[in-house]
Amino acid sequence: QTVADPMAAREDGRRFAHHTRREIAEQPEALAATDAALKGLALPPDVVACDRFTVIACGSSLFAGATAREAIERAAGVTVDLEIASEFRDRAAPPRGIAILISQSGETADTIAAMARFRAAGLSTIGMVNVRESVIGRTAELVWPISAGQEIGVAATKSFTAQLLALMRFGIALGEARGTGDAAFRTRLARALDDLPRICTEAEAMEPIARILAERIAGEEEALFIGRGWGAALAQEGALKLKELSYIRAEGYPSGELKHGPIAVIREGSPVIVCTPGDAGQAKVLANASAVAARGAHLVALTDVGGAEAAAATAAETITMPGDALVAPFAQAVFLQLLAYHTAVVLGHDVDRPRNLAKSVTVE
């Protein structure tokens, strides 16, 4: 249970200067709570019969959907499309399949408007919300709860990793119910997810490294985050977190797209953070990263034990997060949150209430 005072002592005696920092620390409990809330939830027949889902969301919630997409598609053998809610609401294309509406608040106006298009077409909606008593929580045909506990800081932190977990558990449940997808992958993923509270605790312990990197990033005017597959989505989330908390221009980009334009911005010393896992896709992202390093970029690779050696051969700095490639999106997300948080602290910004932003965006 989150308490309103960030300075209130936790059970482990820790106190925090900001809600955002406290909420980063709450991820082990939040993820355990997500799993507890999902236990025993069954999928209705229309969901089990469906093989095409559309994730619709905004901001970090959209990036959570994009980060988990690969895992859901592989676990369940279904197609997952992604739609930015603020764009989708005005599209002419008729909605198809079942919508997965991801929203921490459950009150985001654009996501609610996108949901209305599915409902008007007589199609089912699944609400992945943190606030159960919200418009999306009350009206979706199926609620697949996030249950991360109250999030006060404007930046999504524990709700992001809880959304990732809820989405991956959904993929596993769907694959099992349908009998489609990669069964061996489901078993490995389910086991890896059971270990997330420990992984997130260990990832948070990497804070001193995040703080050192933050001190450097605080002196930069811009930063680029890159990756492939889920790493590209996580790169976008890392860039969003840095922008929103530190006000530094940051961009998250699929590394394979750099050569189609963005590589032109690279100068001597440009900071580039590479989200890379130690899996079969690593060689490609590192090849793209070497191309930016050859133009003078300073590469910082975020990886796991299995990817550390290859990353170190390419990047100027390698940060090895706990756990394997299956849980890498979670471990790397925690690090990126700490990086953004400490950059904002170094710059003296209001971390819990960044300028121009609201926790819940209830206008179009």
Alpha carbon distance 233, 362 (integer Å): 25
Applying the rule CB under 6 A, the residues between 179 and 208 that interact with ligand M6R are none
Instruction: Report the candidate in 45, 15, 42, 12 with the shortest Cα–Cα distance to residue 29.
Output: 12
Q: Does 282 bind ligand M6R (CB under 6 A)?
A: no
Count the residues in the chain. Answer: 364
Alpha carbon distance 312, 319 (integer Å): 9
Smaller CB distance to ligand M6R: residue 135 or 189?
A: 135
Applying the rule CB under 6 A, the residues between 30 and 69 that interact with ligand M6R are 58-61
Q: Does 229 bind ligand M6R (CB under 6 A)?
A: no
Q: Does 154 bind ligand M6R (CB under 6 A)?
A: yes
Total number of residues that touch ligand M6R (CB under 6 A): 16
HSE (side-chain half, CA atoms, 13 Å) at 102: 32
Instruction: Report the candidate in 78, 36, 97, 37 with the shortest Cα–Cα distance to residue 176.
Output: 78
DSSP line for 174-197: HHHHHT-S-HHHHHHHHHHHHTHH
CB of 352 to ligand M6R, least distance (A): 11
Among 105, 147, 161, 255, the residue binding ligand M6R under the rule CB under 6 A is 105
Smaller CB distance to ligand M6R: residue 154 or 174?
A: 154
Name the segment binding ligand M6R (CB under 6 A); options: 11-19, 66-74, 86-94, 103-111: 103-111
Q: Does 360 bind ligand M6R (CB under 6 A)?
A: yes
Which structure tokens are listed for 71? Answer: 């895992």
Applying the rule CB under 6 A, the residues between 309 and 348 that interact with ligand M6R are none
CB of 58 to ligand M6R, least distance (A): 4
Among 111, 288, 314, 332, the residue binding ligand M6R under the rule CB under 6 A is 111
**Which backbone phi and psi does 101 adopt, to 5 degrees?**
-100, 115
Helix (H, G, I), strand (E, B) or coil at 81: strand
Alpha carbon distance 254, 44 (integer Å): 35
Q: Does 147 bind ligand M6R (CB under 6 A)?
A: no
Q: Does 244 bind ligand M6R (CB under 6 A)?
A: yes
Is 257 exposed, middle or buried (CB count within 10 Å of its CB: 0-12, 13-18, 19+)? Answer: middle
Interface residues toward ligand M6R, by CB under 6 A: 58-61, 103-105, 108, 111, 154-156, 240, 244, 360-361
